Structure 1
Amino acid sequence: MARIKKGDLVQVISGRSQARGGDRGKQGKVIEVQVEKNRVIVEGINFVTKHVRVGQTQRGTKTGGIETMEAPIHLSNVALIDPESKKPTRVGFREEVVTKDGVSKTVRVRYAKKSGKDL
């Protein structure tokens, strides 16, 4: 089961600090999860410039130039944000019994673990 999913709020926990032009400490929403590569794309983080070749669309307008876009980050470099404390936390799983239409089913559910400082 995935620890980080699309739409989660995450924080960058490694890399260059913001004072040196990096993204460590920044928070953003997950746009895409690349499961086979163990990477995530986070909104507003890890911007790269991409040079796009000039072309024409069906209507005749020209496209191309220099674009900035988010690049993927490895899963180990981001941490999920706890919705209560708004701090980075680890993710755990627990099994809960869900009853629907008289049928009970065991489902694994994600939850944010508490860090030692918060207790």
Structure 2
Amino acid sequence: MANIKKGDLVQVISGAKPERGGDRGKQGKVLEVLVEQNRVIVEGVNYVTKHTRVGQTDRGTKTGGIETVEAPIHISNVALVDPSTKKPTRVGHRVEEKVKDGVKRTVRVRYAKKSGKDL
């Protein structure tokens, strides 16, 4: 079971501080998880400028230019945010039994561990 999923609130725990132009300490929502590369794309974090080639659509409008997009960041550099304390925390899994339509099933559920101090 994955620790970080699409839609989770995460915080960047490594890299340069904001005073030096970095993203450490920023929180954002996970837009996409790239499982093969062990990377995540976080909203508002790790912006890069991307140059796209100028082209034309069917209607004749020009496309392309310089745009800023979020680049992937390694999954080890982010931590899940505990919803109650709003601090980064570690993730645990516990096994629960669910009864659905009279059938018992065992499922693993993610939960945020205690976040004693900032990571």
TM-score (norm 1): 0.96
Aligned length: 118
Asked if 1:71 corresponds to 2:71, the answer is yes
Question: Partner of 1:19 in structure 2?
Answer: 19
Query: Aligned to 2:76, what secondary structure does the other structure show?
Result: helix
Counterparts of 1:1-119 in structure 2, within 5 Å, are 1-117=1-117
Separation in 2 of the partners of 1:52 and 1:76?
30
Query: Aligned to 1:36, what secondary structure does the other structure show?
Result: coil
Query: Aligned to 1:76, what secondary structure does the other structure show?
Result: helix
1:46 corresponds to which letter in structure 2? N
Extract unaligned runs of 5+ from structure 2.
Answer: none
Extract unaligned runs of 5+ from structure 1.
Answer: none
Separation in 1 of the partners of 2:26 and 2:115?
20
RMSD between superposed Cα atoms in Å:
1.2
Displacement after TM superposition at 1:116 (Å): 4.1
Cα deviation digits, residues 2-36 of structure 1 (max 9, x gap): 10000000000000000101000000000000000
